[in-house]
């Protein structure tokens, strides 16, 4: 299907740059704006990325949560980089791997000078977990802009979606205009998310110094 010309994020070129496997390890040069995607292992992160970019297999969709164990970087339209962070909170992942992930993710979030924001995924059917709230608190403390995306809205009725949207927004203390209900199955919320991402990575004017007096 051809993307609508009004699509706020038409992906004409997509390149997988590689993965960052450990804190302080290889990562692509930070010469483009970056947006990171974060969330629990079973929240639908890969499906969201594929729907957002209108690709079927950009991010691997697995029936086994916790499969992504590194930060995967994708260059979009030679304009910005999308960073797919490892999912957190999956109990069956080995303790060694779970111990390695916090330094990897926290190091990336603290040491990425071109990071414009994080798309934080939450399952709309459930309240935020302790892990979700810890991540949101960390991002707030690090002054990283957040878009909260409530996934799997197709599992609920329209009325339930509206109710859960209000309830979760109140709990996570994020401005309502920073919260988007989303379905990777139906595509609902895709364009709102695409527009928000496009705004995050848009070129910023270079400040002009005031003339000396």
Of the pLDDT bands very low, low, confident and very high (cuts 50, 70, 90), residue 36 is: very high
Q: Are strands 179-181 and 146-151 parallel, antiparallel or unpaired?
A: parallel
pTM: predicted TM-score of the whole model, two decimal places? 0.86
Task: Tell which CATH classification among 3.40.720.10, 3.40.50.300, 3.40.50.2300, 3.30.9.10 matches the domain 14-201.
Answer: 3.40.50.300
**Span 100-125, mean pLDDT?**
92
- pLDDT at position 213, please? 64
pLDDT digits 0-9 by tens, 145-154: 999 999 999 9
Q: DSSP secondary structure string, 131-179?
A: HHHHHHHHHHHTT--EEEEEE-GGGS-HHHHHHHHHHHHHHHT--GGGE
First and final C-alpha spacing in the chain: 58
Domain residue ranges in the chain: 14-201
* Residue in 194, 147, 195, 204 with CA at minimum distance from that of residue 52: 194
Two tokens at 42? 């079973």
Q: Does residue 2 have a pLDDT over 60?
A: no
How far is it, in rounded angstroms, from Cα 58 to Cα 153?
22
Q: State the pLDDT confidence band at 159, using cuts at 50, 70 and 90.
A: very high
């Amino acid at each position: 299907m051809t993307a609508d010309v009004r699509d706020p994020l038409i992906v004409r070129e997509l390149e997988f740059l590689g993965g960052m496997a450990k804190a302080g390890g290889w990562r692509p040069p930070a010469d483009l704006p970056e947006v990171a995607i974060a969330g629990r292992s079973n929240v639908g992160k890969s499906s969201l990325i594929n729907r957002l970019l209108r690709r079927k297999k950009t991010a691997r969709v697995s029936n086994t949560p916790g499969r992504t164990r590194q930060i995967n970087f994708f260059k979009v339209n030679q304009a910005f980089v999308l960073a797919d962070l490892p999912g957190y909170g999956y109990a069956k992942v080995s303790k060694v791997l779970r111990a390695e992930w916090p330094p990897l993710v926290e190091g990336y979030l603290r040491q990425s000078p071109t990071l414009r924001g994080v798309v934080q995924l939450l399952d709309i059917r459930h309240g935020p977990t302790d892990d979700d709230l810890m991540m949101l608190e960390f991002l707030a403390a690090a002054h990283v802009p957040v878009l909260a995306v409530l996934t799997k809205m197709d599992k609920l009725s329209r009325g339930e979606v509206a109710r859960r949207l209000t309830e979760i927004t109140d709990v996570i203390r994020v401005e309502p205009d920073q919260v988007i209900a989303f379905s990777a199955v139906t595509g609902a919320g895709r364009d709102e998310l695409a527009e928000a991402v496009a705004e995050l990575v848009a070129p910023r004017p270079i400040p002009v110094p005031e003339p000396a007096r």
